[in-house]
Structure 1
Amino acid sequence: MGRAPALFPSTMRMSGQLLLQASLTAWAAASAATTSGANSFATSVYTAAGRFPTTLFTKYYNNPTQTASQVQPVIEDPVETGLVYPLSLTDPLTVPKNDTTDPHPLPPTASASLLLEQAFNQIIAISTNANFNSSCAKCQAGLEIAKFLALAAPAQGPVLAVRLCEHFNFSSTCGNQYSGLALGSVITQVVANANVGGYDGQLLCNNFIDSLCPLPPATPLNLTSWFAKPKPNPLPAPKTPSGERLKVLHFSDVHVDPRYSTGAEANCTTGPCCRYDNFNAASPGVIMAPAPRFGAYPCDTPLALTVSALEAIPALTGTEKTGFDFSIYTGDLVSHDPDNQLSRDYVTYTETLLYDLFKKTLGSGPLYATLGNHDSYNQAQDAHHALGGGLATQFQWNYDHLASLWEHEGWLSSSAVALARAHYSAYMVQRHDGFRVISLNTDLWYKTNYFNYINLDTPDNSGMLRFLTDELQDAEDAGDRVWIIGHVLSGWDGSNPLVNPTDLFYQIVDRYSPHVIANIFFGHTHEDQLSIFYANNGTTMNSSTAQTVGWIMPSITPNTNLNAGFRMYEVDSATFEILDAYTWHSDVNSFAALDGQVEVGPTWEFEYSTRDTYGPSIAGGWGANDPLNATFWHLVTEAMEANSSLVTTFNTLQGKSSVRTPACTGNCVPAKICYIRSGSAAIAKQNCIPGFASVQ
């Protein structure tokens, strides 16, 4: 694949438009009654155009008509004046190995007085640790030494991290992962500020160092002081359904890979697959499984697959002319690159590229988005404001960029933009129809975010959950309904979030459900999953105590071993309850057959209606206009307990009907039911059999 240094104008405008119009016309003729209802959607199929729609971008670095490689559009950042992202940022042949422009700051060198105080406090912490003679105690004692080094000689912190990684063989790429240009500076900041002899150290040793410490239980909460007002008793009368149905798009985890190299190794053994310089160890330098133009199971999403999905969404949902009433995007725009190949520019390029595409293709309705763990640099890292000084604002560039893009696209008001700048890209949108959307930065409860391990026995160091609670109280006072959107789920099997913050989140959901919170939405796992939130911290789980549903959205990316998918909800315009959910998917296993021609692209087809799939299993049935709420889903889990074939159906749909989804038998059946009933990491860890959460 050769590189073309010249810029190519957007040619073939008429042919690209005619081809797309022909596809839409053919689809409309084949499925003229697809405006609403599962029966009409059930036969809907859309085959994307084989040629790339060149009118999407004004200029390209390479010839956009070619099929031998992915297109490389010229992207100018609308909120960074004069910034045009260079080809070298995304060229598959020249992937940058380290971002030397934007290293994270190191903590300041400690004064002698601070060293004395820290030494004293840490010695006290060790002396009161009952597990000091265990491997856990050894791990924490090692962190103590690292802490003093981080305070006294912070520049040596990353060096120590690399040497320890190499000595204990934690990784084969220690330098790339833990140098000062990767996570080494972050780890040095965290160790310098964390109480490594106490709760913070226990969690660090549990989550990052071979589980040397047991997982401590959730810290008891003082909820009386947390909430400004008690939960109303009785609850306000529920809103009367309007009978009018809104169309709402939910999609997630695009993980577009602008460095995707068509024809590269799709079955590699190191690094991201479908990349120019990554091979299978069994045949270095020889391509065993060439990467198809539209994507492969082990890889992130090429731009060709991304665009085919955005073509299919309005056609299959019947929103070509009207657009959606609104859309939600639950995070993760950026590809799964190793830290040493990431940079600020790579993140902001991806944000600019995709939000521009969403605006161009999905119609005029607003899109409410949330920040994913990969939408940061370094990935998954977000520092909380309690760090103080420059360390507290080291990710502000990203919050400002996202807020400016969302404002530029016309999706957020100036007041919501101000909130996003101040609250780690989190915000609240108050619409005119008695409805609010609250978007959270769930990196602040994500297990892989090192910054969360500073004073972790306090469940809300970031202030994120204080922000959420205050916004929910305002909504309750106004009588408004709320959707909460975030990226990293709060529960399922408990392997992704931290115990303390999600335990508090669960109590917040309990306090404001079901009269304020109508639904919660996550992404992150790439799979079609669900969480039910119950009253009283889930101590009694039945249809009467079920309060709120957390919908976990499957991904556009096939990574790993999944089909690509998206969903549309039909939502009552007064209650904002979901009346049905329609999911479509594209069979990634078929993509290799599309190479060598430009007549057709991926086929997207209807997968299932939630109501039609699970409703008949409920004893006594479920009314045609009754919402798919927490009561509905708890009754579905009771049906699963009575008939395991329903779990088999759920398991198949969890992987978007991928041919690579394994069967769910034996302990997998009760485990899946338990995961569905777990809305926090604490409940999942306490109740559920581990090991069956994913179909990847």
Structure 2
Amino acid sequence: MKTANLVLTFTCVVSFTGTHAKTGYFWHITDFHYDPLYTSQGDTRRHCRRADERGSSGHHRAVGRYGDYSCDSSLDLIESAARYMRTRHSENVEFVLWTGDIIAARYNANEDDRYQAIRNMTDLLSRTFSSHFVFPVLGHLDPAPSESLTNLWMHWLPLEALQTFKYGGYYTIEQKQSKLRIVALNTNLFSMRESNSPQTRSQWLWLNTTLDKATENKEMVYIVGHAAPGSDSRHGYDSASNANYLRTIRRHARIIAGQFFGHLHADTFRVIYDNDRPVSWALLAPSVSPHRDPSGSSNPGLRLYKFDTNTGKVLDYTQYYLDLATANRNVGAAEWTAEYNLTQYYGLHEVSPISLHNLADKLRIGTPYETTMFNKYLRAYNARHDSSDACDGACAHQHFCAITCLEHLAYRQCVEAAASALAAAGKSSPLVAPLMNTLVILFIVVMFV
């Protein structure tokens, strides 16, 4: 089915190819952070843009064609990702989830230039997936919903979805034949700045109505957004929105087949509990953009999911990555590589709340086996960039708390409990000071984000 047919009826629009097939695939790509001003002659002190020769000392290091860990994405990097995705399971790809932050954080161009950059990325994906639907959501760096943005993506979205997207940046895609519904959220509306806006109130009402309708129609649901719930990310949910979201997921956990987010530029997951019972999960994909922060760097990543097209059950995924340093040294094209397969890598029998709960429990640092498992997790978290030295026992415990304690208060209590236990065991423990430092940073982040 070609995108030209999107002018047909809503029911026809959402009838993806292979509706009778048991198994299909979909891509999840996120956080392009495309910088039109990136240049391999750029200066890392100026975000890999060209330096003003008059003000440059001439001592900055060279940057690569495919990007730099200190900067946002080059066009060559994103085009290499698009070329690679065309080669993988193209005949069985059902759709693409594109979860926001399209433009670089520091691309402070005028509105026309920013829209042109988004248009360029949209055109690239339209050429890459000429026979597939791309479902975009808004990240915190993206423009607010508008007529211009709606027109830009109208070839991918049916009319009913465009109406809510134009107003609030959220929409749903109904697939009556496969009984799988995609719910695309504008998680920007869950921030402290937007939490009391009319658009936010409308999204909450719409979300509950949509999930109630899905329950009545015996549909399964994918929830898709930019930022995941939890406490460990900037530009995330405020406390009230976070609690409301988790209540909503618990109430409708039976029909939610998966939650898919980006934003953290890292490969991780979340488990949602109801009375200590794991009832739902969220998978966070690493960014296409390379990334560096105080805890380490990460390579660019792409993710391809395998799922049951009738029920929406996620069966597995394959994570791909680009070794950025190697790509920049090579003269030819960038070589994207399969990094790992979820079920094989972690020894999972299935992708479910209980299996991911059990995996999270194995990430606690205490035995050599658990340390080995956490190191595997950390390699995946950074998309094969070696940052193991940047994560001590306190850091490892913070990962566990982020995965399993999504309520803001529970997260703080989880981190505090470990600090207290270590302090009681003896102040000489090498983990006490780092963990207390982590707590200080945590409280600062919670107060000011």
TM-score, normalising length: structure 1: 0.53
Cα drift, residue 318 of structure 1: 2.8
Cα drift, residue 250 of structure 1: 0.6
Change (3 A) 1:603 1:492: farther
Cα drift, residue 492 of structure 1: 5.3
Cα drift, residue 592 of structure 1: 3.4
Are residues 1:427 and 2:171 paired?
yes
Name 1:140's counterpart in structure 2. none
Describe the superposition over 1:576-608 as per-residue Cα deviations: whole angstroms up to 9, x where unpaired.
1111110010011123323xx4xx121111100
Change (3 A) 1:494 1:288: closer
Name 1:23's counterpart in structure 2. none
Change (3 A) 1:263 1:326: same
Cα drift, residue 262 of structure 1: 2.0
Describe the superposition over 1:643-689 as per-residue Cα deviations: whole angstroms up to 9, x where unpaired.
12211111111110113554433222222112111334343234336
CA radius of gyration, larger in: 1
Change (3 A) 1:462 1:585: same
Name 1:290's counterpart in structure 2. 62
Alignment map for 1:245-284 (pairs within 5 Å): 245-266=23-44, 268=45, 272-277=46-51, 284=56
Change (3 A) 1:365 1:343: same
Name 1:331's counterpart in structure 2. 100
> For residues 331 and 586 of structure 1, what CA distance do their matches in structure 2 show?
20
- The partner residue of 1:374 within 117, 122, 141 is 141
Are residues 1:342 and 2:109 paired?
yes
- The partner residue of 1:439 within 169, 175, 184 is 184
Name 1:688's counterpart in structure 2. 415
- The partner residue of 1:637 within 344, 355, 360 is 360
Cα drift, residue 421 of structure 1: 1.4
Name 1:671's counterpart in structure 2. 398
Cα drift, residue 504 of structure 1: 0.3
**How many percent identity over aligned positions?**
22
Name the aligned partner's letter for residue 246 of structure 1. Answer: G
Describe the superposition over 1:343-389 as per-residue Cα deviations: whole angstroms up to 9, x where unpaired.
3223311221111111101241211110011112xxxxxxxxxxxxx
Name 1:525's counterpart in structure 2. 264
Describe the superposition over 1:241-271 as per-residue Cα deviations: whole angstroms up to 9, x where unpaired.
x9821111111001111111221113x1xxx
Are residues 1:405 and 2:149 paired?
no
Change (3 A) 1:243 1:405: closer
Name the aligned partner's letter for residue 299 of structure 2. Answer: N
Change (3 A) 1:278 1:629: farther
Name 1:574's counterpart in structure 2. 310
Which region of structure 1 is more displaced relative to structure 2, 343-352 or 255-264? 343-352
Change (3 A) 1:275 1:494: closer
Name 2:246's counterpart in structure 1. 506
> For residues 327 and 535 of structure 1, what CA distance do their matches in structure 2 show?
30
Conserved? CA contact 1:258–1:302, under 8 Å = yes
Name the aligned partner's letter for residue 602 of structure 1. Answer: A
Name 2:14's counterpart in structure 1. none
Alignment map for 1:122-521 (pairs within 5 Å): 244-266=22-44, 268=45, 272-277=46-51, 284-315=56-87, 317-319=88-90, 322=91, 324-337=93-106, 341-376=108-143, 395=144, 398-408=145-155, 411-422=156-167, 424-432=168-176, 433-447=178-192, 450-452=193-195, 462-491=201-230, 493=232, 495=234, 496-513=236-253, 515-521=254-260
> For residues 611 and 347 of structure 1, what CA distance do their matches in structure 2 show?
40
Conserved? CA contact 1:295–1:591, under 8 Å = no
Describe the superposition over 1:393-451 as per-residue Cα deviations: whole angstroms up to 9, x where unpaired.
xx4xx43222222213xx211111112112x110011013111111111111235xx34
> For residues 359 and 219 of structure 2, what CA distance do their matches in structure 1 show?
28
> For residues 243 and 367 of structure 1, what CA distance do their matches in structure 2 show?
20
Q: CA RMSD in A?
A: 2.5
Are residues 1:649 and 2:416 paired?
no
Conserved? CA contact 2:233–2:264, under 8 Å = no
Conserved? CA contact 1:402–1:425, under 8 Å = no
Conserved? CA contact 1:403–1:425, under 8 Å = no
Conserved? CA contact 2:188–2:194, under 8 Å = no
Conserved? CA contact 1:483–1:517, under 8 Å = yes
Change (3 A) 1:299 1:488: same
Change (3 A) 1:631 1:263: same
> For residues 116 and 407 of structure 2, what CA distance do their matches in structure 1 show?
34
Name 2:326's counterpart in structure 1. 590
> For residues 257 and 371 of structure 1, what CA distance do their matches in structure 2 show?
17
Cα drift, residue 629 of structure 1: 1.3
Cα drift, residue 462 of structure 1: 3.6
Name 1:115's counterpart in structure 2. none
Change (3 A) 1:680 1:487: farther
